[in-house]
Amino acid sequence: MVTSFFRNAIFQVGLNLLVKGVYLFGVERMVQNLLPEGDYGLYFALLGLGMLLQVVADFGLQLYNSRELSGDRELLAQYFPYFIGLKMMLGTAFFLVLLPVGWWLGYRGAEIYLLLIAGAVQFFNSVVLYLRSNLSGLGKYALDGWFSIMDKGLMILSVGGLLLFAPEELTITRFAGLQLASWGITAVMLVLVVRDRLPRKLPRFDRTTFGKLLRGGAPFALAVFLATAYTRTDAIMVERLLADGATAASHYAAAYRLLDALNMIGWLLAGLLIPMYARLQAEGKDENPLLKFSVQLLLAGSVCAAVPLALYSQSIVELLYDFAESRTGLILFFLAFSFVAQCLNYAYGSLLSARGLIGRMNKIYALGIVLNLGGNWLVLPVYGAPGAAAVTLLTQSFIAVTQAVLAHRWLEIPAKTIAWGKTLLFSALFASCGLALFHFSPLPWLLSCLLLGLLGLVMAVLLKLVDLAKLRDLGAAAGARKMS
C-alpha cells in the first residue's frame, strides 16, 4: 500500500513540475516576450505587493488549519463555516489596506486598476490554499494534487489559446484578468468539492470563535509576512526607485522566473521534511540522520543547478527572452547562487518549524528584512536591478548561515553531523570543472551546460553527498505517514 501511494505521490510531483514548467516557460515567458517591455515588470511588482500584503487576507489561517485542525476531521467540520466567514472579512480588510498602500507608493489610474486585479489574484490564491488544506485534512490527497495544478492548467488553455490564435489581442490587463479567472474557477470548484464533504456549509460569524482562530493563526501570519517581505520587496523597490523601473523590473522578473522554477523542487522536498521531523520528534527518535541527509542533498543538488545556471546565465536569458541584455544575465548570475542559500534555508527551516521554533525564526527573518531594505536603498541608485539581485544573494546567505548556526546551537546538534568539509570540497571541485568547461570546451554552450549539471550529480553521488537509497526511503516514509 505504501509503495502504491509513493508511486502516486511521484506521479503528482512529476505532474506539477510538468504543468508548472510548461506554464512558466511555454506561456508566461512568451507573454513577457510579446508584451511591451515594461508592462510585465509593472505587473510583477504589483503581484509582489499583493503577495506582501496577502498576510491580511490569510492571517496564517491556512497553515493553522493545515497543522492544527486538519488532523481532526470533527474539528475541521466544526470550524469550516467560521473560517469562511472570517475569510470574507479578512478579504475586505485586505483590499482596504492594499489600495491606500498602492496610492502611497505612487500608483495611479490604470496602475491602480491592475493592482486591484493583482490583489484579487493573491486573495483567491489564499482561498485556494486554505480550501486545499481542508482536502488534505479529509484525506483526499490525490484530489488535492489535481487541484494544485488546476489554475496553471486553465492558464495554459486560456492564455496559450490566445497566444496561438490571437496574439495581437493580448495585453497585460487581459493576461491578469485570465489569471484571476483561473484562480477564481479553481476556488469555486474547491468550494463545491469541500461543501459535499462537510455537514456545515454556510458561513458563520462569531466574535469569540474568530478571536480564537486569529490567535491561532497569528504566529503563522507573522512568519509568512516576514518570509515574504525579505524575498519580494526587491521587485517593488526596483520598479519604484529606478528611473526605468518598469523595464528594470521586467528584466528582474525574467531572471526570477528561473529561480521560481528551481524553487518548486525545494518546496516539494521541504513539504516532505516537516512532517517527517515532527514524526521523529513524536516517536523520540534521532533527527540528526535526516538533517544530515537533507542538508547534503539540498546543498549538493542546488550547487549542481546554480553553477551551470550562473556560468551560462547570459546565454540562457538570450535563448529565452527577445529583450535580454547584459543586465538580465547579471541578475540571473546572482539569483542562481541565492538558490543555494534558499535550499539551506529549506533544510534547517523545516527542522525548526517542526520543533515549533517559529518565533525564533521570525527574529532572523526580521533581520533579513532590515538587511534587504537597507541594501536596496544603498545599491539600487548605483547598480540598478543587478544590484538588487546581489542584495538578494547577500540577504538569503545571511539568513541561511544564521539559521543553520543557531539551529545547531538551539538544538545542540554537533557541527560534525553535516559533512561540511566534503560539501565545500565538492563545491570547489565542481566550480573548477565548470570554469574549465566554460572557457575551454569546444561544444555548444547548451550541451556544455547540461553535461556540467550531469557531472555534478555524478560527483555528488560518488562523494556520497547524495544517497539514492535514502532518497527513496524518504519518499516511502512520507507515503507511510500519509497512509496512516
- CA dihedral of 465, 468, 469, 470, whole degrees rounded to 10: 50
Per-residue pLDDT of the chain (484 residues; tens, 9 = 90+): 334 334 545 566 677 778 888 999 889 999 999 998 889 999 999 999 998 888 888 887 777 776 665 555 566 667 778 888 888 899 999 999 999 999 999 999 899 999 999 999 999 998 888 888 777 666 666 677 788 889 999 999 999 999 999 998 999 999 999 999 999 999 999 888 877 666 555 677 878 888 888 888 887 788 778 878 877 888 899 999 998 889 999 999 999 999 888 888 777 777 667 767 777 777 788 888 888 888 988 899 999 999 999 999 999 999 999 999 999 999 999 999 999 999 999 889 888 887 878 788 888 888 999 999 999 999 999 999 999 999 999 999 999 999 999 999 998 899 888 989 999 999 999 999 999 999 988 889 999 999 999 999 999 988 888 776 666 655 554 444 444 4
C-alpha cell at 145: 494534487
Cα angle 73, 85, 117; round to 5: 115
Asked if residue 484 lies in contact with residue 2, where contact means CB atoms within 8 angstroms, the answer is no
Alpha-carbon Rg of the chain, whole angstroms? 22
C-alpha distances out from residue 418 to 181, 287, 297, 421, 465, Å? 46, 12, 11, 9, 10
Asked if residue 17 lies in contact with residue 264, where contact means CB atoms within 8 angstroms, the answer is yes
Exposure of 240 by Cβ count < 10 A (0-12 exposed, 13-18 middle, 19+ buried)?
middle
Q: Maximum distance among all alpha carbons in the chain?
A: 70
- Which of 444, 183, 480 has the alpha carbon at shortest distance from 312? 444
Asked if residue 221 lies in contact with residue 130, where contact means CB atoms within 8 angstroms, the answer is no
C-alpha cell at 299: 546543498
Handedness of CA 453, 456, 461, 464 (dihedral sign): negative
Report d(CA 290, CA 293) in Å as an integer: 5
